[in-house]
Copies of this chain bind each other. A is one copy, B any other.
Amino acid sequence: MKLQDKKVAILASDGFEASELFEPLNALKNQGAEVHIISNKEGDIKSWENGNWGKTIAVDQLIKDTDETDYHALVLPGGVINPDVLRIDEDALQFIRNFFKSHKPVAAICHAPWLLISAGVIGDREVTSYKSIKDDILNAGATWMDKEVVVDNGLVTSRNPNDLPAFIAKIIEEIREGKHEKQVVDA
């Protein structure tokens, strides 16, 4: 197993794209990582699946009770509604920023890079995203690439659920590498 003794936070709220949370969750656990679901709400959060509300998952901890220093990496699933909710939660944005301040791997897929925009961490970085938010990514100062996965010094991004195998492989690789000196918040 490649991720023994590693702890990973998955930050999500209602409306996360089901596969984009469950597939990384299972893959990271299979590699021996301890993975926690962190959210802005207690209890269960609802996925988005095939154009409708889908299965739920139990939240392990509220963002406000969670310390970035307890984790080695952060994963941000997409879905349209989920990041739209979290990007107006200052605790969520600060939690994300702290991973960049600590140079730790962060992975975001689909619409999740909206969170990176609002956290102020992707000016001058190379990323991809779901195609609908390309304009927002470019306007934030980042370089947008149409690739299944883009890795830039600990920042891993992908476009959509079809990219999950490449996305997950690179997350595991970046967590194994550990801290990345050039993974920082915007100047």
Contacts and interface: CB of A to CB of B under 8 A. Distances in A.
Interface in A103-154: 111, 114, 117-118, 131-133, 135-136, 139-141
Q: Chain A, interface size: which category? A: 20 to 34
Contact of A136 (B52, B53, B136, B141): B136
A58 interface: no
A17 to B, nearest CB: 12
A84 B80 contact: yes
A84 to B, nearest CB: 5
A29 interface: no
A81 interface: yes
Contact of A139 (B53, B87, B140): B140
A87 B131 CA distance: 10
A169 interface: no
Q: Which of A88, A114, A118, A139 has the most chain B CB atoms closer than 10 A to its own CB? A: A139
6 contacts: A81-B81, A84-B111, A88-B131, A114-B136, A118-B135, A136-B139
